[in-house]
Amino acid sequence: MFSGQNCKFLFDYQEVGQSSNTLYFNVRRNLEDIRRSQARQLSDEDNVRLEVLIDRFSAAGPLTPKNSFEMNYSSYAGIVSTIVTYLIVLIEFRTG
């Protein structure tokens, strides 16, 4: 069942995701500042490496509880079958 402890876990999970997202954002911003301030002093190879790092840190998004699972046909089929089973059990107890 869904309890207060589960709710706290989801809240903590969201908070950790947001702080990691903030760290990624700060790293990306610092790398972009380096690129702007040192553009003339960096070699072409260093510029390429810096671009790769900026791209890697740009891809990060916030980590949320909904990212932990993906809803697809098999998920919906499982949910529907559970609901149908529950309804059948309720009907059996009412009639029996």
Tens of pLDDT, residue by residue, the chain (96 residues): 455 566 566 556 656 656 666 777 888 888 888 888 887 888 888 888 888 888 887 765 655 555 556 667 777 888 889 999 999 999 988 886
- 20 close to 64: Cβ distance less than 8 angstroms: no
| Eight-state DSSP code of residue 13 | H
DSSP 59: S
